[in-house]
Every structure is written in structure tokens, then in C-alpha cells.
Amino acid sequence: MESVVVAGIDCGTNSIRLKVARVDGHGMHEVVPRVLRVIRLGQDVDKTHRFADEALERARAAVAEFAGILAGHRVDGIRFVATSATRDAENREEFESMVEELLGVRPEVIPGTEEADLSFLGATSVVERDLAAPYVVVDLGGGSTEMVLGGDGVDAPATQVQAAFSMDVGSVRMTERHLLSDPPADAEIEAAVRDVDAHIDEAFAHVPAGRARTIIGVSGTVTTMTALAMGLKEYDHRLVDGVRVPLRDAYAVNDRFLRMTREERRTYRTIHPGRIDVVGGGAVVWSRVLARISEAAREDHGTPIDSFVASEHGLLDGIVLDFGRRLLAGR
């Protein structure tokens, strides 16, 4: 069977990820397991609209590391995708030129709609058959959060995007904009909730999320909070991937870690050190998105959604799978 080996890089507001996989007619087969580095590229971008010098240096170190990894593998192509922070940065040319110098490819700064489509492709490429359609996939990043609704499996395939919207809310953006105290003050939390809800209102004008029967959550914030809800002492992606979490458990753990000090969070080895200071901002977004979708489902078909499914597969998987399929189609 014909196949290609491709590398995908997802550079977000908080983290950068690399995955190398062989893509064929049956899907993806890992060559290099996912590599993640927290670089906080979006540091202060919400306020200054520029990449900070130290953030660019952290990005350079990670990209140089990825170049070293890729030097040991023969790949048919590399796709480097940059998202929310890079869309907002006035000095993104400096970042793009640095990546091209180190990797030989220029970052593609994709719009939120394409980011949403690729996240949905990655998340639904491995869904269990017993999940009720339509699915709504939520990719909660550092600077933006994508909400994507698929088909009902009857009139349209469950893995086909029906509607999508990218909201300018995320773990880093909400932390830097609102959660300035340690721990956050009630007034700061209330302001963050109002901000998130306003963006969800806008998303719901484009995405009929109430039609959903299953919520699939992807990204580091979602999987971290899932691991904490499960009581894991250390993060283990094998245990987190595909687990179903009751919403009441998600709300409880989100609120608890939102109201902790950073030093208290630091005692939990489940949380990546690079997420310690922004996980509260992510928790606000995640709780509000879950609550609003559940309520919209109750209003739409009489039954609220009472759980979500966590997935380790999202934008990065979508980048690799889509790129590999396009290379195969061009042969």
C-alpha cells in the first residue's frame, strides 16, 4: 500500500508539538511519538500585539531541537502550522524567518476556521464507535478555543464538519487579561466568566452546539484537568485518552485548581510546569464551554449532556493526517 512519511508541527500560544507519522489508506502510524515543549510564544501578545524577545528565544530553542530530531528521519514533507498568537503578532515575520532558517519550511499561519476543521479531523479520526453523534469538538488552546460540530451520522457523516467557530479565549489569554492575583480574586474570576460567555454567545450564533450528543475535548488544558479529575498522581496519556468524565467532576476540579495559588498547583506533578500559571484561565474557559453546551443541548432536545470525552488527538493529528492525504492524492 502506498504511503508517505510526514512531519507535522503545531505551534500554539503556549506550546509547540512535533509528530512524525506514516500516512496511508488506513490512517496514521507513528514514526516519532509526539514531542511537546511549552514555550509560551504568546507571552503578553494579547496586550502588546508583539512576540516578546524571550518568547522568540524559547521558540528558537524548541524549533532547533525539532530540526535535530527530523535530521534523523527521511520525511516526504514538513508542515508547520502556527495559530492564535502568531495571527495576532505584528512582528511575526521575525518568527517565520527564524523557523524557515532552521527547518527549511515557512510556518503557515492558518485562520481559526481551518484550525477548527483540522482539530475536528484529528479528534474524530480515532473516536469510538459507541459515541453518540453529532459530536462537538472543543479545542481549548492558549489563545483561542475552537468549537466544531459534526454531522448526525444520518443526513451527514458524523466525521464531516457542519459548523465551526474560533473564539479568542484561551488559558494564556484569560490569565493575562483577568486572573492577575494569586490566587485569583472573585471579581477577576467573574470578569473572566463574562468575557468567556460573551465569546460563547458569538460562537453559538455560528455553531448550533445544542444539536450535539457528545462533547469531545482536546488540548493540554482539557487533558490536564481530566487527569486531575481522575486523581492521577502523574500524567499518563494512555489513561487519559478516550476517558469519559462526568461534568460535575469536571466543574469541581476546574473550580478547585482555579482558586489555588501557583505554589499549591506546583505540588501536583500531574500539571506540566509550563501550565502551572495558566491552568486556572483554561479551567474558566472549560467550565463555561461545558456548561453552556450542556444547557444548549437541554434546550434543543430536552436532555442535557452530562459528561465529556477527553482525547489526546486534535490539531496536531489533523495536520499530519490532512497533509499526508494531500501528498498521497498528488502522486
Q: Are 177 and 95 members of one domain?
A: no
Q: In what order do the strands lie in the sheet with 145-150?
A: 161-167, 145-150, 135-140, 214-218, 307-311, 244-246
Whether 270 is in a domain gets the answer yes
Residues 278 and 150 reside in one and the same domain:
yes
What pLDDT is attached to residue 106?
95
Cα 102 to its chain centre, rounded Å, is: 25
- Asked whether residue 321 is domain-assigned, the answer is no
All 3 cell numbers of residue 28? 496514521
Distance CA 256, CA 229 (A): 10
Q: Are residues 141 and 228 in the same domain?
A: yes
What's the CATH code of the domain at 219? 3.30.420.150
Quote the DSSP letter at residue 144: -
Query: Quick one: which of 310, 268, 218, 226 has its CA closest to 17?
Result: 218
pTM of the model: 0.93
CA 55 – CA 38 distance, rounded (Å): 10
What is the distance between the alpha carbons of residues 129 and 137, in angstroms, rounded to a whole number? 16
Q: Give the other-Cβ count within 10 Å of 62's Cβ.
A: 23
102 and 144 assigned to the same domain: no
Q: Do 108 and 178 fall into the same domain?
A: no
pLDDT at residue 180, rounded to an integer: 97
For the chain, report the end-to-end CA distance as a whole number of angstroms: 13
Domain interval for residue 21 = 4-112
Cis omega (within 30 of 0) for bond into 134: yes
| CB contact at 8 A, 215 and 293 | yes
Q: Return d(Cα 251, Cα 233) in angstroms, integer.
A: 19
Are residues 134 and 95 part of one domain?
A: no
Residue 322, in any domain of the structure: no
Q: Which residues of the chain have pLDDT under 70?
A: none
**Do 288 and 155 belong to one domain?**
yes
Q: Are residues 101 and 165 in the same domain?
A: no
Q: How many domains does the chain have?
A: 2
CATH number of 44's domain? 3.30.420.40
What per-residue confidence (pLDDT) applies to 86? 82
The reported pLDDT for the residue numbered 174 is: 97
Say if residue 134 is in the same domain as residue 102: no
In a domain, 142, yes or no: yes
Residues 86 and 154 in one domain: no
Same structural domain for residues 86 and 162?
no
pLDDT at 127: 80
Residue 117: inside a domain: no
76: helix, coil or strand? coil
User: What does each C-alpha distance from 55 to 67, 89, 167 come to in angstroms?
Assistant: 18, 12, 23
Is residue 325 one of the residues assigned to a domain? no
Same domain assignment for residues 171 and 285:
yes
Select from 123, 114, 115, 16 the least CA-distant residue to 62: 16
User: Of 314, 13, 320, nearest to 138 (Cα)?
Assistant: 314
